[in-house]
Amino acid sequence: MEPIKIGLLGLGTVGGGTVNVLTRNAQEIARRAGRGIQISHAAAKYFNPNLIHGLDQIIHISKDAWAVVNDPEVKIIVELIGGDTIARDLILKAIENGKQIVTANKALIAKHGNAIFKAAQNKGVTVAFEAAVAGGIPIIKALREGLTANHIHWIAGIINGTANFILTEMRTKGRNFEEVLAEAQACGYAEADPTFDVMGIDAAHKLTILASIAFGIPLQFDKVYTEGINHIDPIDVAYAQELGYRIKLVGITKHVDTGIELRVHPALIPEPCLLANVDGVMNAVLVQGDAVGSTLYYGAGAGSEPTASAVVADIVDVVRTLTTDPEHRVPHLAFQPKEMSNLPILSIEQVETAYYLRLNVEDKVGVMAGIASILATEGISIEAIQQKEQPDGAQWVPLIMLTHEVTELCMNKAIQRIETLEHVKGSVVRIRLEQLDS
C-alpha cells in the first residue's frame, strides 16, 4: 500500500517533534501501521532548520497554510499551530475538504470542539486529539476506549506541568511562588506569559475535554471553576506536609447526584496517594470507574517528542479507520452524538469538599470557642486542629484546621463570619482537601 500523505500545519516545538519522530521511527511505525506515513506538505510561519534537519529538501514547506489544507494529495491534516482563531478556520476548511484531522490544540477543542465535531460528523471525517490532554499519556484512548465498560465516578488530574514544577520546588526547597516562577521562565520551562499555566486555564481546557469524554456531556469550558496557584504561601505547603498532605494543582470532575463538578484549583492530597507523588513537570490522571475502581495514567504532559508521540499515535489510528464506515468509529466524545447528556454543571458554591484552613488568632481564652461555634452553626465538623507555636514576640499564632466535607456555600458563610471576630487577624487561608478515595 502506498504511504499516506500528511499535511502539517506548524513547525514549532510539537511540529518539529512530530517530524523527528516520524522520520526516526519511520520503519517501526510502518511495521505497526501496515503503511508508510509521509509528510508531503507543510506550512509554518517560521521554523528552526537546525531542529528539523534537511526537512525542506524532502518536503514542500511554505508559509501558506491554506495551500496545505487545499492540497488534494493530502489525506490527513495535522494542526500544530495552536490558538483558536486561524487554527479553527483551517480545521473547518480541511473538514469541508474531506480531510481527516489530527490536532494537539486543547484550547480549540475545549472552546470550539462541539462545532468542530459536528462538522466532522456531517462530513464523515475524524478529528483526533489525544495530544490535547496530558501530552504523551494516552489518556483520551484509555477513557474513550479502555474504560467503555464503566460508569465513571470522577477524574482527578495533575494536568499542567509548569504548575506542578512550581509546587514541587516550593515543597522540596521551601521557596516561594514568585521566585520559582521567575527561575522556570528563565530556564524556558514556563512561558513568558505564564497566566494560562499558573492560573489554571490550561488545566481547565484539558479538564473540559476529560469531563466530556467521561460523562458524555458537551464541552463546556466556560463553566469550569478555575483558581490558580499564585496565592499559595510556602508556609501552607509546609504545614500541609506536616499533616501528611501535598498541595497540587488538580483538575477534578465528578459525577454527583445533582450534576457534574468541573473545577481546577490547588488541593491538599494525602501523601500515600500516588497522585501526590507525581512531581516536577510530570502529569498524571486518576480515574475512578464503577467496575475497574481506580486507575492512574502517568507520564510527560508536554514537550516536543512526548506530545509528538500522541500526535503520531492519532495519525496511525486515523489511517486504520480510513476504510471504516463513520458510524463504527470511536465517537469523538466517547458517546454517540445523539446519546449526549445534558447533566447540569454545578457552581463552585454547590461543590462539597473538605478544607484546610489557616487563621491568625490571638492566643486567648474563648477564641477557639468562638470559631468552633461558627463552624458548628454552618454544619462544618472539624477533622483535626493544630495551634502552631507563637513566633517570638508575635501577638498572633497560626491555627490550622482540617474540616470534613461541606459545601463551598456553607464554608463561605463560615469564613465571612470568622473574619469578623475580634481575635482573628486578616483573611482566613482556605485550600480544598481531596481524599481521592472511592
Residues serving a catalytic function are 206
Q: Which residues contact 222 (CB under 8 A, 6 or more apart)?
A: none
Q: How many angstroms separate the CA atoms of 186 and 423, rounded?
A: 43
Minimum distance between the CB of residue 392 and a copy of itself, rounded to whole angstroms? 36
Helix 161-173 / helix 177-187 crossing angle, nearest 10 deg: 130
Minimum distance between the CB of residue 256 and a copy of itself, rounded to whole angstroms? 16
Burial 145-175 (b: 16+ CB within 10 A, else e): ebbeebebbbbbbbbbbbbbbbbbbbbeeeb
Strand partners, 422: none
Under rule CB under 8 A, which residues in 337-376 are in contact with a copy of itself?
Answer: 339
By the rule CB under 8 A, 247 interacts with a copy of itself: no
Using the contact rule CB under 8 A, the part of the chain among 18-26, 99-107, 203-211, 407-415 near a copy of itself is: 18-26
Minimum distance between the CB of residue 409 and a copy of itself, rounded to whole angstroms? 31
State the alpha helices, DSSP H only, in 6-85: 13-24, 26-33, 55-58, 65-69
Residues 195-234, one symbol each (x = binds a copy of itself by CB under 8 A, - = not), give: ---------------------x------------------
Q: How many angstroms separate the CA atoms of 304 and 150, rounded?
A: 33
Q: Is 147 helix (H, G, I), strand (E, B) or coil?
A: coil
Closer residue to a copy of itself in complex, CB, 125/137: 137
Using the contact rule CB under 8 A, the part of the chain among 58-66, 142-150, 348-356, 386-394 near a copy of itself is: 142-150
Strand partners, 403: 382
By the rule CB under 8 A, 323 interacts with a copy of itself: yes
Minimum distance between the CB of residue 418 and a copy of itself, rounded to whole angstroms? 38
What type of residue sits at position 86?
A: I
Strand residues in 290-381 grouped as ranges (E): 293-300, 352-362
Under rule CB under 8 A, which residues in 293-322 are in contact with a copy of itself?
Answer: 293-300, 305-306, 308-313, 316-317, 320-322
Q: Tell me if 7 sits within 8 A of 76, measured CB to CB.
A: yes
Closer residue to a copy of itself in complex, CB, 328/364: 328
Cβ atoms within 10 Å, residue 376: 12
| DSSP type of residue 73 | T
By the rule CB under 8 A, 336 interacts with a copy of itself: yes
Closer residue to a copy of itself in complex, CB, 79/130: 130
Minimum distance between the CB of residue 217 and a copy of itself, rounded to whole angstroms? 12
By the rule CB under 8 A, 431 interacts with a copy of itself: no
Instruction: Choose, by CB under 8 A, the member of 7, 15, 16, 17 that binds a copy of itself.
Output: 17
Cα-based torsion angle of the residue sequence 185, 108, 159, 32 in order, rounded to the nearest 10 degrees: -110
State the alpha helices, DSSP H only, in 190-346: 195-198, 201-215, 234-242, 304-320
With contacts defined by CB under 8 A, how many residues of the chain interact with a copy of itself? Answer: 66
CA distances from 324 to 118, 119, 124, 274 (A): 18, 18, 10, 39
Under rule CB under 8 A, which residues in 257-276 are in contact with a copy of itself?
Answer: 274
Using the contact rule CB under 8 A, the part of the chain among 2-10, 48-56, 137-145, 225-233 near a copy of itself is: 137-145
Instruction: Choose, by CB under 8 A, the member of 291, 392, 422, 426 that binds a copy of itself.
Output: 291
Q: Tell me if 297 sits within 8 A of 380, measured CB to CB.
A: no
Element containing residue 95 per DSSP (H, E): helix 86-96
By the rule CB under 8 A, 15 interacts with a copy of itself: no
Instruction: Choose, by CB under 8 A, the member of 178, 242, 290, 349 that binds a copy of itself.
Output: 290
| DSSP type of residue 146 | I
CA distances from 229 to 102, 168, 177 (A): 32, 12, 8
By the rule CB under 8 A, 29 interacts with a copy of itself: yes
Q: Tell me if 253 sits within 8 A of 155, measured CB to CB.
A: yes
Q: Tell me if 213 sits within 8 A of 140, measured CB to CB.
A: yes
Minimum distance between the CB of residue 111 and a copy of itself, rounded to whole angstroms? 24
Instruction: Choose, by CB under 8 A, the member of 6, 14, 19, 33 that binds a copy of itself.
Output: 33
Instruction: Choose, by CB under 8 A, the member of 36, 146, 234, 259 that binds a copy of itself.
Output: 146
Q: Tell me if 306 sits within 8 A of 135, measured CB to CB.
A: yes
Using the contact rule CB under 8 A, the part of the chain among 21-29, 101-109, 163-171, 399-407 near a copy of itself is: 21-29
Under rule CB under 8 A, which residues in 150-179 are in contact with a copy of itself?
Answer: 150-151
Closer residue to a copy of itself in complex, CB, 79/317: 317
By the rule CB under 8 A, 142 interacts with a copy of itself: yes
The cell numbers describing 146, all together, are 479502555
List contacts with a copy of itself (CB under 8 A): 17, 21-22, 24-25, 28-29, 31-34, 130, 136-138, 141-142, 145-151, 216, 274, 277-278, 284, 289-300, 305-306, 308-313, 316-317, 320-325, 327-331, 334-336, 339
